[in-house]
Amino acid sequence: MYDVIIIGAGVSGCAVARELSRFNLKTMVLEKASDVCEGTSKANSGIVHAGYDAEPGSLKAKLNVLGSRKMAALSKELDFSYKQNGSIVLCFDEKDRFRLEELKARGEENGVEGLRIIERDELLAKEPHAGDEAVAALYAPTGGIVCPFGLTIALAENAFVNGVEFKFGQMVVDIQKQETGYLIKTDKETLEAKVVVNAAGVYADQIHNMVSENKMEITPRKGEYLLYDKNIGNMASHTLFQLPTALGKGILVTPTVHGNLLTGPTASDIPDKDGKETSREGLGQVTQKAALSVKGIPGRQVITSFAGLRAHITKFERGGEGAKLSDDFVIEEVKDAAGFIDVAGMESPGLSCAPATGEYVAGLIKEMLHPQEKQEFISTRKGIINMFLATEEERHAKIKENPAYGNVICRCEMVTEGEILEAIHRPLGATTTDGIKRRTRAGMGRCQSGFCNPRVVDILSRELKIDESEVKKSGEDAWYLLPLEEKEM
Amino acid sequence: MKTDLIIIGGGPAGMAAALAAYEKGIRDLLILERDKELGGILNQCIHNGFGLHTFKEELTGPEYAVRYMDMVEERKIPSLLNTMVVDVQGGTPCVVTAMNREKGMFKIEAKAVVLAMGCRERSRGAMNIPGTRPAGVYSAGTAQRYVNIEGRMPGREVVVLGSGDIGLIMARRMTLQGAKVKLVAEIMPYSGGLKRNIVQCLDDFGIPLKLNHTVTQIHGKERVEGVTVSKVDEKLNPIPGTEEFVKCDTLLLSCGLIPENELSQGAGAQMDDTTAGPVVNAKLETTVKGIFACGNVLHVHDLVDNVSIEAEKAGEFAADYILNGEEDWGEAVRPKIPEKSKCTLPEGRDAGSQIICIGCPVGCLITVNKKEDGTLEITGNTCKKGEAYARNEVTAPVRAVTSLIRVKGGSGRVVPVKTAGEIPKGKIRQCLEEIGAVVANAPVKTGDVLIQNVAGTSVSVVATGNIPVGNIPAV
């Protein structure tokens, strides 16, 4: 019997796991994919929102401001990439200026610090490529950018090191209430837990509906993005949002923590919870709208495009007083299922909130289980060395320690064999090329793994002692090569 | 560490530059190569068609590479393999920073540097093809490496996007290894490949070439499950209503090459938007003092022979610079970019009776009709040679075959091979079966006869690459 089983190894689930690992609790994270960070957490804007957007008094507002304040310290504690680059909301029409003021007032009510309206000349000083139509902007110095994989993996590794178990490749198919706790049936086994945390992203409705009569419906809201070469990563230094206009919600242009330029997302509600395909129309829309914020982004510098799904709650019959559907997160003990905690509707700003979400949920569980704090909790975690960014001395030392750090595998991002070996052999190590990519950036550069793919497949096959045909991109069916027997060569 | 000349890249450009500098009297020089052997991309281009200008004979890629490797070895020109250059700075001296397992990170000072890093392929992302992001989307060169170097198959059912030579060659290569190539889609109204490749890589195997078509969607959650192919209008925009779903598990992309100039840019070299390579003067010197450039890093070449010629010049100029000191830089001279071959074909061409003549670059479309009396009526040719070619193609066509033979106990799983001469087209299948049945014992050397009298044609099958003894088990 587990004390807590967390369903879903996205950023919210991993944040909860890490906070719970401070206590003497037997905790497990169950994930249907083959790695952490395989759903919404891997395909989003990578933004740490300042917190002016959310409705005052909402959980979104509270956790966002808190999460954003915690992010810098957490990034040092757990060694992931984060940068407080400041964000800017662009206003393109004098008639809309009052909306900037509204936003500023809302932000201040939420407790966001340093908000300021800036005029076009100051905007241009901050962002020389800002669009011609931008007349004024809201400047939020506390806005930031984060590596969403880096954050999620760091949380997961730290939780794991502190005793949380992780099970991958297991999908929850049924949950039954027991006298104490719950029986969780996966496609492979049955597990028992006193407390269940539902952090299943776009599938959180299905998990919720297994235990509650108050049905929930989550409609994935798809967002398409374009990622640009590092060559033009300096075309924006802040995260540039657009004030929503009559034409709809704007899209953002932002540098990433790794120095690329990112534009997106679109927003379209789709029925398919796996519908992560990009479309010509969507990508066209992103290009067109991004040009409003930053002019002259060269189309030929696109290195990849992707789509992510935000878990947007479209129906939730809470019953009783909470019946009205709000736009807020649902983070609470389910009314008709004691000991079952939803962490649902974790759309934007879910990533920014993660550090606060973890603490908030751990707080709920503390009330239920009254656990003891661990003496031996390890609060810090050291990430994989980045040979590209390392100093000359650090590089020398690393190569001396293991010559594999001198062998460059991914030429675009300059990732060495040593880093890839680390990614495979560290706690909760990578087992797929996507896992390697998210831990080391091998394959994330401008050639998009054209050069390093055969080399990474070879290393994974060697280190995991499996045939190359068993090396996958991500899931079971994501094979690269046919078995040798099938095709006589 | 100090030397006179550093050549970055040990492919055809780097080797030719090194040899030319050596001939000019430079003895203190060094080739830096990131792969485990010299030869560059030639090592995986196991088809033939190389060297007609340089060696006056038709060689496969590995054979062309081996000729240069032998010359480099004879002159004892040193090279560092498995070594990645991470930074280049010009001046007196130039400073090259590189990394490898043995030496870690190290700097070398040189009087001059020749950039010969080659080019890379445009990726799916750069083309912005919409859809999901499953495994099974490869650039043609990545697939070529898997098949020809590693002896592994990257898929069963294939769609190729782009009809440049690499795309055409890979369509045949995958077919010869047992895959089903569904079609080759080309967004332009013409193929960018050589006519010979359209004939011998597509027509010979009944692979359709769809001009004015492109891939507009990639399907499949984890592995490619199919692609949508659409017709495009004159502005290259997909025409709604023309979408066709093609089931496949693999999409190969052959959509252009980009000079690989990260190092050139890092050195501060001025770039030319037209060539995507560095700006150079008449002596192939970049705008950075002491740094020269040649080969595909300068601009994408059509033939390796032309890469060799250009690289020799760069090697000589670099040697002059080292021996005689610098001169006035002069003015920028854009290298002559080869005109892109444009092979247009009538829609719905019947490859059985409408033959593209491959005798010369004109590429006449010759129609052959069999008359009632059994004689052939040949029209469309503009010279006698064309008539003879068409007659031969219809009555007794011949082909050279290039493929792979399995190796036991070698450092690689397969060795590239070719038929020593042309064999009747009708014997290709039997030839491949015999090639598939053979396992060679390492070491295998270029020129080794691995099959005699293949398919009863009295032609032998010979190795076109070297596989030393190693510990990779046979397939």
pLDDT digits (tens, 9 = 90+) for B404-428: 999 999 999 999 999 999 999 999 9
CB contact under 8 A, A416 and B218: no
To test the contact with chain A by mutation, choose from B35, B147, B223, B403 the residue with the greatest count of A C-beta atoms within 10 A, namely: B223
In the A/B pair of chains, how many CB contacts fall below 8 A? 151
Q: B142 and A453 in contact (C-beta within 8 Å)? A: yes
Give me the pLDDT at residue A488, please.
44
Could you tell me if B104 lies within 8 Å of chain A, comparing CB atoms?
Answer: yes
Helix (H, G, I), strand (E, B) or coil at B355: strand
My answer on whether omega of the bond before B154 falls inside 30° of 0, hence cis, is no
Helix (H, G, I), strand (E, B) or coil at B147: helix
Give me the pLDDT at residue B355, please.
87
For the stretch A71-78, contacts whose Cβ atoms lie closer than 8 Å and that sit 24 or more positions apart, written own/partner, are A71/A144, A71/A146, A71/A352, A71/A355, A72/A144, A74/A355, A75/A146, A75/A151, A77/A379, A77/A380, A77/A381, A78/A151, A78/A154, A78/A155, A78/A158, A78/A380, A78/A381, A78/A383
Tokens of A116: 């300021």
CA distance B84 to chain A (A): 6
Tokens of B430: 């039997």
Q: Do residues B178 and B276 both lie within one domain?
A: no
Q: A414 and A446 in contact (C-beta within 8 Å)? A: no
Tokens of A133: 């139509």
Give the lowest-confidence range in A468-482, B164-178, B374-388: B374-388
CA distance B386 to chain A (A): 37
To test the contact with chain A by mutation, choose from B8, B133, B239 the residue with the greatest count of A C-beta atoms within 10 A, namely: B133
Q: Do residues B271 and B218 both lie within one domain?
A: no
Give me the pLDDT at residue A166, please.
98
Q: Which residues have CB under 8 Å from A347's CB, separation 6+?
A: A40, A221, A310, A311, A312
Domain membership of residue B97 (yes or no) is yes
As a whole-number percent, the residues of chain B with pLDDT over 70 amount to 99
Domain membership of residue B299 (yes or no) is yes
Give me the pLDDT at residue A209, please.
97
Domain membership of residue B472 (yes or no) is no
Helix (H, G, I), strand (E, B) or coil at B128: coil
pLDDT tens, position by position, B66-98: 999 999 999 999 999 999 999 999 999 999 999
Q: Tell whether the model's pLDDT for residue B453 goes beyond 70.
A: yes
What is the secondary structure of B59-91 as a DSSP string? Answer: EEHHHHHHHHHHHHHHTT--EE-S-EEEEEE-S
What is the secondary structure of B17-28 as a DSSP string? Answer: HHHHHHHTT--S
ipTM of this predicted structure: 0.94
CA end-to-end span of chain A, whole Å?
51
CB contact under 8 A, A454 and B86: no
**CATH number of the domain that residue B80 is part of:** 3.50.50.60
Q: Partners of B347 in the beta sheet?
A: none
Which residue of A279, A392, A477 is in closest CB contact with B105? A392
Domain membership of residue B334 (yes or no) is no
Location of structure tokens 């995260």: A239
CB contact under 8 A, B120 and A447: yes
Domain membership of residue B277 (yes or no) is yes
Domain boundaries in chain A? Answer: 2-41+149-218+312-369, 82-143+223-306, 392-470
Location of structure tokens 């390392």: A390
CA distance B85 to chain A (A): 9
Task: Say how many residues make up chain B.
Answer: 475
Structural domains of chain B, count: 4
Assign residue B23 a region (left: φ > 0; alpha: ψ between -120 and 50; beta: otherwise): alpha
Which residue of A306, A399, A469 is in closest CB contact with B133? A306
pTM (two decimals): 0.95
B-chain CB neighbours of A415 within 8 Å are none
Which residue of A282, A404, A482 is in closest CB contact with B101? A404
For residue A477, the chain B residue with the least C-alpha distance is B222
Stated as kind and residue range, the H or E segment containing A213 is none
Our separate counts of H helices and E strands in chain A read: 12, 22
Q: Strands of B209-211's sheet, edge to edge? A: B137-139, B250-253, B157-161, B180-186, B209-211
B-chain CB neighbours of A303 within 8 Å are 123, 125-126
For residue A450, the chain B residue with the least C-alpha distance is B142
A-chain CB neighbours of B123 within 8 Å are 303-304, 446-448, 450
How many CA atoms within 13 Å lie on the side-chain side of A90? 32
Last residue of a domain, one of B255, B279, B294: B255
Q: Do residues B116 and B131 both lie within one domain?
A: no
Closest CA to A415 of A428, A36, A430: A430
Our separate counts of H helices and E strands in chain B read: 10, 29
Domain containing B379 equals 354-395
Give the mean model confidence (pLDDT) for residues B159-186.
96
d(CA B157, CA A489) in angstroms, rounded, equals 17
Q: Do residues B110 and B13 both lie within one domain?
A: yes
d(CA B449, CA A411) in angstroms, rounded, equals 38
Q: B147 and B154 in contact (C-beta within 8 Å)? A: yes
CATH number of A392-470: 1.10.10
Could you tell me if B346 lies within 8 Å of chain A, comparing CB atoms?
Answer: no
Amino acid of residue B460: S
Q: Do residues B167 and B211 both lie within one domain?
A: yes
Q: Do residues B110 and B164 both lie within one domain?
A: no
* CATH for A82-143+223-306, options being 3.40.50.1370, 3.40.50.720, 3.40.50.12780, 3.30.9.10: 3.30.9.10
Which residue of B84, B121, B136 is in closest CB contact with A450? B121
CA distance B75 to chain A (A): 28
Tokens of A488: 């006589």
Which residue of A280, A414, A448 is in closest CB contact with B123? A448
- What is the bridge-based pairing of β-strands A87-91 and A239-242? parallel
Q: Which residues have CB under 8 Å from A272's CB, separation 6+?
A: A220
CB contact under 8 A, B414 and A454: no
Give me the pLDDT at residue A230, please.
95
pLDDT tens per residue across all 489 residues of chain A? 999 999 999 999 999 999 999 999 999 999 999 999 999 999 999 999 999 999 999 999 999 999 999 999 999 999 999 999 999 999 999 999 999 999 999 999 999 999 999 999 999 999 999 999 999 999 999 999 999 999 999 999 999 999 999 999 999 999 999 999 999 999 999 999 999 999 999 999 999 999 999 999 999 999 999 999 999 999 999 999 999 766 667 899 999 999 999 999 999 999 999 999 999 999 999 999 999 999 999 999 999 999 999 999 999 987 655 555 678 999 999 999 999 999 999 999 999 999 999 999 999 999 999 999 999 999 999 999 999 999 988 998 999 999 999 999 999 999 999 999 999 999 999 999 999 999 999 999 999 999 999 999 999 999 999 999 999 999 999 999 999 865 444
Which residue of B125, B217, B475 is in closest CB contact with A302? B125
Q: Do residues B238 and B316 both lie within one domain?
A: no
Angle at A197 between CA A196 and CA A199, to 5 degrees: 145
Tokens of B474: 């046979």
Stated as kind and residue range, the H or E segment containing B311 is helix B304-324
CA dihedral of residues A210, A211, A215, A220 (deg, nearest 10)? -50
Tell me, yes or no, if the two domains A2-41+149-218+312-369 and A392-470 fold the same way.
Answer: no
DSSP character for B286? Answer: B
Please report the beta strands in A293-433, taking only residues with DSSP state E, as ranges in sequence order: 302-316, 330-333, 340-344, 408-410, 415-416
A-chain CB neighbours of B138 within 8 Å are 450, 453
For residue B475, the chain A residue with the least C-alpha distance is A484
My answer on whether omega of the bond before B473 falls inside 30° of 0, hence cis, is no
d(CA A374, CA A21) in angstroms, rounded, equals 8
Give me the pLDDT at residue A484, please.
83
Q: A218 and A227 in contact (C-beta within 8 Å)? A: no
Domain membership of residue B468 (yes or no) is no
CATH number of A2-41+149-218+312-369: 3.50.50.60
Last residue of a domain, one of B363, B395, B427: B395
Domain membership of residue B346 (yes or no) is no
A-chain CB neighbours of B238 within 8 Å are 280
CB contact under 8 A, A406 and B102: yes
DSSP character for A443? Answer: T
CA distance B146 to chain A (A): 7
Amino acid of residue B38: L
Interface of B with A in 160-179 (CB under 8 A): 177-178
Tokens of B17: 């530059």
Sign of CA dihedral A292, A295, A298, A302: negative
CB contact under 8 A, B216 and A277: no
CA distance A406 to chain B (A): 4
Closest CA to B298 of B266, B261, B255: B261
Helix (H, G, I), strand (E, B) or coil at A85: coil
Q: Do residues B142 and B99 both lie within one domain?
A: no
Domain membership of residue B386 (yes or no) is yes
Whole-number average pLDDT of chain B: 94
